[in-house]
Amino acid sequence: MPDLNGIEATRQIKGGSPATKVIALSMHEDPLFVREMLRAGASGYLLKESAFDEVIRALNAVTSNQAFFSPAVARVVMGDYLDRGDGKPVPPEKTGTRVFDVLSAREREVLQLIAEGNSTREIAKRLFVSVKTVEGHRRLIMQKTNIKSVAELTRYAVREGITKL
């Protein structure tokens, strides 16, 4: 998705219409990405390599208020659950600081656009804000993440699932 990543899109969809069911269709089976999609409100998660019948099963499950995961994703979810043991969130020292914990939605949006190679002026135009506002967001992102360059920001955004190369 060129303007928004799946996690942010899911947050916005669920924020505007909580009853809407979202099934993620992704190439990512990384535990961090799966976890953030579920936190954003996804009811199901399929890998893009899923067969047509698996997509139909997911649609049927989710419309019946059940969750549905591709088998590989179910292993990720179970592993994540078992790692916690008591059902409590995994402590930050075990998982590392996540972008979704430290950045606002707008900062994540700006980070995505920076990582996709947009100039400050292009970002300002796209978001209908001033260049100074974008510069301020970039400065806050760098402070919050302790990152010193745009190249490092790009690597961070890719690693955190904000965008892909």
Q: Residue 23 burial (CB < 10 Å; 0-12/13-18/19+)?
A: buried
d(CA 163, CA 165): 7
Confidence of residue 56 (pLDDT cuts 50, 70, 90): very high
Confidence of residue 93 (pLDDT cuts 50, 70, 90): very low
Q: pTM to 2 decimals?
A: 0.56
pLDDT of 128 above 70: yes
- Rounded to whole angstroms, what are the CA distances from 133 to 53, 83, 120, 124? 47, 41, 9, 8
State the average pLDDT over residues 5-16: 89
Confidence of residue 14 (pLDDT cuts 50, 70, 90): very high
Which of these three, 91, 120, 142, is where a domain ends?
A: 91
Length of the chain: 165
CATH number at residue 143: 1.10.10.10
* Same domain for 142 and 86: no
* Same domain for 113 and 59: no
Residue 72 maps to a domain: yes
The answer to whether 84 touches 61, Cβ cutoff 8 Å, is no
Number of domains in the chain: 2
Q: What is residue 85's three-state secondary structure?
A: coil
pLDDT digits (tens, 9 = 90+) for 68-87: 998 878 877 777 666 655 54
State the average pLDDT over residues 124-142: 92
pLDDT of 159 above 90: no
Residue 147 maps to a domain: yes
pLDDT of 66 above 90: yes
Q: What is the DSSP string of 103-124?
A: S-HHHHHHHHHHHTT--HHHHH
* Same domain for 103 and 82: no
d(CA 123, CA 108): 12
* Same domain for 74 and 30: yes
Residue 1 maps to a domain: no
Q: Residue 108 burial (CB < 10 Å; 0-12/13-18/19+)?
A: buried
* Same domain for 127 and 85: no
Mean pLDDT of the chain: 83
pLDDT of 109 above 60: yes
pLDDT of 96 above 80: no
Which of these three, 91, 115, 132, is where a domain ends?
A: 91
Confidence of residue 89 (pLDDT cuts 50, 70, 90): very low
The answer to whether 79 touches 35, Cβ cutoff 8 Å, is no
Residue 69 — φ and ψ, nearest 5°? Answer: -135, 140
Residue 165 maps to a domain: no
Model pLDDT, residue 94: 45
Degrees, nearest 5: CA angle 93-95-98: 105
- Residue with more model confidence, 95 or 71: 71
Domain residues for the domain of 76 are 6-91
